[in-house]
Structure 1
Amino acid sequence: MEGKKHLFVGKSGKAQKYTYPRRVVITPTIPKRDRAAHGANLSSQLTLAKVAEEAISEEIDSIELDTPVGVQLSFESFPGIEITFEKLADVRSGIELLSVVQKEDIYVANVLVPLGKFGVLEKKISEYLNPSKDNKSGPKHAVLLNAISTIRNTVIESLWTDNPELFPTSNQEVDWFEIWLPVGDDRVAVINDFKKLCGIHEITVSDSTLEFPERTVLLVRTSLDQLARSAS
């Protein structure tokens, strides 16, 4: 085209063989634990967390819901050790990894365990404690369990994925919060059940939603105390 400047590749370049930019990824070594002591400790913590299952079962017994309900658990790592998060999820039993939060050098994985599915996690610990289940590298599930220091029921702070400095300073102050719901097997049913539960606890839910492949985002107007009560 006349009057227009163009860019042309000059002849100053030279051909070179492609070199793969290899990067060495150093995976932190997970220390070995005293199998009996560590396994017993995790088992005890899981048993305490399981108490919430009965309470939730009683609460929803009179509520007609179309989607499975569960208990939210938080798995906290030892300092500087990252949990193999994908090993916490179990598609067949419906155990789902909800989020992962890093607090300084500690990782917290938040997991939803459907009612009646605690046995899946209990089995992992049982097999870890059983020498007859060992593999060539040691106790079964050691890569997962040796990285976990604490198992507990999830608290609101553990679900906060925004800047920690933005976390509300008052538990009673009412404000708008984003809630990220899992899609499950039926996105619409999950949303409807969530709104039904919010209505029971007098929590305002916005009409609009933002949809992602694995999550649905809604806005709720409530306080941290009210959220905690509705989740317990």
Structure 2
Amino acid sequence: MADDFPRDRAHIHLRNNGIREAYRRPNQLIHAPPLPARDRASHAAALTQSIEQAVESARQQIAARDPQLSVGTPGFYLEIDLPMSGRAALDQLADRRQHMELVAVHEPTQPGAPITASVFLPQSAQAYYLRKVEAYRDVDTDRGRPRNEPLVSRMETVRLATARSLFTDHDDLFPQAADEQVWWEVWLRDGRRENFEHIAEALNITLRTHAVRFPERVVMLALASTAMLDRMIAHSDVVAELRRAKDTPSFFMGLGGAEQRDWSDELLGRVRP
């Protein structure tokens, strides 16, 4: 290959001093965490019960929807608990072919607490987890293990999701009162900004017009209560994740020198030694 710039320093220019080789990935021994020890029949029975209850609650939620609010693909969000050792199952929770999506993962803050994952399911996929559990209970693989064991054995329980389920900030930042209005970062699923703005207007939720775009998410600021967000989640498929909006120093950084001095003097007047 021709040089792109002159090589006029011969004392540090090494010639014919190497060979080119194709990249080879180094051998790695991956130790996957062991699967939880389960009694197959009892675990399948308990999981079936929690899934059936969650799906039935979802059906009732869909039946009670206000047609003036409902937007997007009819479906619902489920919240699934996994043990800390079950992180490998996160990628198996949603089947893109059935238009399911893993939208939020809440990390535990206490030792021994579960990982909580939230998944959106269209109505057409409402039996997805029940079929997985039934195969786990009744069918063996060629190696004599329960089918779907890597997924089902790591699932602890399933329930219908709420706004709290999609909240991925620190637990202390979640409002205590359902009617308290605060500013949120609303992380939207891909291609759903228009529907979000429609349902936000219907629910009298105040929005900032500016949005931050990521490859599969759009983030907008919304002034809303958790009760409003619960209604939004029950009537739409737009939300992926919720966080509390954080204060930034951008306002003060944009002030002129004289204005910054005035604000500094005002602060000094309120500070006591």
- 1:121 deviation in Å? 1.8
What is the one-letter code of the residue matched to 2:78?
L
- 1:38 deviation in Å? 0.6
Tell me the equivalent position of 2:239.
Answer: none
Residues 69 and 202, structure 2, Cα contact 8 Å, conserved in 1: no
Q: What is the CA–CA distance in structure 1 between the aligned matches of 2:229 and 2:137, rounded to whole Å?
A: 37
Unaligned runs of 5+ in 1: 1-7, 10-14
Q: What is the CA–CA distance in structure 1 between the aligned matches of 2:50 and 2:70, rounded to whole Å?
A: 29
Tell me the equivalent position of 1:166.
Answer: 173
Tell me the equivalent position of 2:163.
Answer: 156
Residues 70 and 199, structure 2, Cα contact 8 Å, conserved in 1: no
Once the two structures are superposed, residues 208-229 of structure 1 have per-residue CA deviations (whole angstroms, 9 ceiling, x without a partner) of 2222111111111111233224
Unaligned runs of 5+ in 2: 1-10, 13-17, 19-24, 235-273
Q: What is the CA–CA distance in structure 2 between the aligned matches of 1:137 and 1:158, rounded to whole Å?
A: 36
Once the two structures are superposed, residues 69-118 of structure 1 have per-residue CA deviations (whole angstroms, 9 ceiling, x without a partner) of 32111110135432511111111211111021210442111100112311
TM-score (norm 1): 0.79
What is the one-letter code of the residue matched to 1:208?
H
**Which of 89, 111, 115 is matched with 2:119 structurally?**
111
Matches within 5 A, 1:113-128: 113-128=121-136
- 1:158 deviation in Å? 2.7
- 1:206 deviation in Å? 2.5
Q: Which moved more, 1:150-159 or 1:213-222?
A: 150-159
Residues 57 and 115, structure 1, Cα contact 8 Å, conserved in 2: no
What is the one-letter code of the residue matched to 2:201?
G
Q: What is the CA–CA distance in structure 2 between the aligned matches of 1:211 and 1:123, rounded to whole Å?
A: 36
Once the two structures are superposed, residues 112-139 of structure 1 have per-residue CA deviations (whole angstroms, 9 ceiling, x without a partner) of 01123112222111111113x4341511
What is the one-letter code of the residue matched to 1:123?
R
Could you say which structure has the larger radius of gyration? 2
Q: Kindly, what percent of the aligned residue pairs are identical?
A: 26
Tell me the equivalent position of 1:200.
Answer: 202
Query: Do structure 1's residue 177 and structure 2's residue 184 form an aligned pair?
Result: yes
Residues 81 and 116, structure 2, Cα contact 8 Å, conserved in 1: yes
Residues 42 and 151, structure 1, Cα contact 8 Å, conserved in 2: yes
Q: What is the CA–CA distance in structure 1 between the aligned matches of 2:50 and 2:226, rounded to whole Å?
A: 25
Query: Do structure 1's residue 88 and structure 2's residue 90 form an aligned pair?
Result: no
Tell me the equivalent position of 1:147.
Answer: 154
Once the two structures are superposed, residues 116-174 of structure 1 have per-residue CA deviations (whole angstroms, 9 ceiling, x without a partner) of 3112222111111113x434151111011111111111233332222334333443321
Q: What is the CA–CA distance in structure 1 between the aligned matches of 2:178 and 2:33, rounded to whole Å?
A: 38
Q: What is the CA–CA distance in structure 2 between the aligned matches of 1:169 and 1:23, rounded to whole Å?
A: 47
Tell me the equivalent position of 2:107.
Answer: 102
Q: What is the CA–CA distance in structure 2 between the aligned matches of 1:202 and 1:52, rounded to whole Å?
A: 26
TM-score (norm 2): 0.68
SS of corresponding position for 1:209:
strand
Number of residue pairs matched? Answer: 218
Query: Which one has a larger percent helix, Structure 1 or Structure 2?
Result: 2
Residues 44 and 137, structure 2, Cα contact 8 Å, conserved in 1: yes
What is the one-letter code of the residue matched to 1:175?
V
1:164 to 1:93, Cα distance in 2 relative to 1, 3 A: same
**Which of 203, 221, 224 is matched with 1:222 structurally?**
224
